[in-house]
Amino acid sequence: MKNKVAVHWFRQDLRVKDNPSLNYLSKKYENIIGLFVFDDVNRDPRLGSASKVWLCESLKHLNEQLNGNLILLKGDPQECLEEILNFFDVEEVSWNRCYEPWVIKRDKKIKSNISEKIKVSSFNGSLLWEPWEILKDDNTPYKVFTPFYKRGCLSKKAPRNPETSKINFFNHNFRSTNICDLQLLQNKEWESQTLKIWQVGEAQAEKIMKNFLEEGIKDYSDGRNFPKKKNVSRLSPFLHWGQISPNTIWYALSKVNDVGEENIEVFKSELGWREFAYYLNYHFPYLQKENLKKNFDNFKWKNDEISFQRWTKGETGIPIVDAGMRELYQTGYMHNRSRMIVGSFLVKNLLIHWKKGEEWFWDCLFDADAASNSASWQWIAGTGTDSTPYFRIFNPVTQGQKFDPEGQYIKKFVPELNDMPIKYLFSPWECPENIQNEINFKLGVNYPNPIVDLKESRKRALLTYEILRRENSK
DNA sequence: CCTGGAGTTGTCCTA
DNA sequence: TTAGGACAACTCCAG
């Protein structure tokens, strides 16, 4: 079987290590062609701005890993594949699966079309457990995380062990689009600014993981709640694009010693939440667009564009919320604790539809992931199958005091409040005028008044839910 | 089919 | 100051 050419179609698996499709092909074929298609035809929704930046950087790295032999094309993958099949003497095409509804639909069609002339194989390169393999005894999908994870996943077979093969990428003379011609970048200041704290690529993913396992995992269970601490992995963008496999992380965790079983288990369960999001998106393909809990369909969301804009800019006048939103805009990332706080604030205090928040995150996050993003927004909004109960409304003042006790996170992203005494840092609207004068600060000038009263808006949210409940019981 | 226990991440009030 | 219970009811899940 040697000396034949096979095509590996890269999608959300931009890595060479532990890549099941590549492993499979490399055992059968001497020469492998690596293809990436920027599909701007079928994609739903379109890539967010941050994702485009990440992808652009990633493709540069991947091309280097392939010694410049990555074939980069733009358009409809079906047509691109046909072109390659006509040019080379291709024996087999293979890829790792994606799980978004639109991709499943697209790939199914492509597979049935080209498998008439050529062998096509697909693999699991991005999940620890296939969504269709985890079902309850009655063969229906789980809706609650804990039984899904513990009984559904952990008691099933262990995840695939990571494996890396030696791969020969074919030195070809086929056309390849210049990365710049994909028009992923708009030469905006924002693009280079956000990238500053990141280095993209497979090698970097491994480095970050190693560093996290040495430094961050130690106090993960507790420390992950504090935005200023270095206890979160920040591997999410790499996981999304497959620059590291969850399997690699899963088994690397098992080899870590002396950091406490609890920390390891909690981090593993976070990988479990990622699985759960993909699982929900697979079994409930409307996850991205509609409430999982249908009884929320009549909820009276507010159409408040002005408040929404101020939320996106981090100008709500609530320090911890603004810090989170500015972290997002400035770094393409937001700490998990802040995500919950700003999410709760948008959906409950402002009564703005979770979909609006989901879309903003989609555009700004380097780790923008359709399944995780939608599932998490539905969780915080209370519209998900297994979500926070509606009466649980985060108090951003308390949250700040608890999880940013010294205010370092707030001050980093909201430097206007640098001199604010800690007593008023989380609620500057309570700072008396004489103290404001002392620190040369004026509320409403140097930093905005809060756009809503926290107590009032909390009451209003509870009332709105109460109305929904009554409407539904009619 | 029935039944009982459980459900990521909170807040507020009260004693 | 602090710990404990209420918050509201439902659906999910497993025996």
* pLDDT string in tens for chain A (474-residue length): 445 899 999 999 999 999 999 999 999 999 999 999 999 999 999 999 999 999 999 999 999 999 999 999 999 999 999 999 999 999 999 999 999 999 999 999 999 999 999 999 999 999 999 999 999 988 999 999 999 999 999 998 899 999 999 999 999 999 999 998 999 999 889 999 999 999 999 999 999 999 999 999 999 999 999 999 999 999 999 999 999 999 999 999 999 999 999 999 999 999 999 999 999 999 999 999 999 998 899 899 999 999 999 999 999 999 999 999 999 999 999 999 999 999 999 999 999 999 999 999 999 999 999 999 999 999 999 999 888 888 889 999 999 999 999 999 999 999 999 999 999 999 999 999 999 999 999 999 999 999 999 999 999 999 898 888 888 877
Classified by CATH at the fold level, domain A5-119 comes out as: Rossmann fold (3.40.50)
CA atoms in the 13 A half-sphere facing the CB of A458: 10
Question: How is residue A433 written in tokens?
Answer: 């005028």
Asked whether the domain spanning A294-473 has the same topology as the one spanning A127-160+203-283, the reply is no
| Type of residue found at A442 | K
Q: Tokens 């509804």 sit at which residue?
A: A101
Residue A144 Cβ under 7 A from any strand C atom? yes
Q: How many CB atoms lie within 10 A of CB A53?
A: 24
Residue A273 Cβ under 7 A from any strand B atom? yes
Yes or no: say if A437 and A324 are a contact pair by the CB < 8 Å rule. Answer: no
Residue A473 Cβ under 7 A from any strand C atom? yes
- For chain A, which residues make up each domain, given as ranges? 5-119, 127-160+203-283, 294-473
Q: Which residue is nearest to nucleotide C13 (CA to C1')?
A: A147
pTM for the full model?
0.96
- Å: A142 CA to B8 C1': 16
Burial of A474 (0-12, 13-18, 19+ CB in 10 A): exposed
* Nucleotide with smallest C1' distance to residue A152 CA: C13
CA atoms in the 13 A half-sphere facing the CB of A325: 23
Q: Which residue is nearest to nucleotide C6 (CA to C1')?
A: A391
Q: Which residue is nearest to nucleotide C14 (CA to C1')?
A: A137
B chain positions with any atom within 7 Å of a protein CB: 6-12
Helices (H), A96-166: 101-114, 145-146
- Å: A385 CA to C12 C1': 9
| pLDDT value, residue A3 | 57
| Type of residue found at A215 | E
| pLDDT value, residue A187 | 83
- Å: A341 CA to B10 C1': 11
For chain A, the residue count is 474
Burial of A69 (0-12, 13-18, 19+ CB in 10 A): middle
| pLDDT value, residue A1 | 41
- Å: A154 CA to C12 C1': 19
Q: Which CATH class name applies to A294-473?
A: mainly alpha
State the helix-helix crossing angle for A336-344 and A354-364, rounded to 10 degrees.
150
Q: What CATH number is given for A127-160+203-283 in this structure?
A: 1.25.40.80
C chain positions with any atom within 7 Å of a protein CB: 7-14
Question: How is residue A469 written in tokens?
Answer: 């409940």
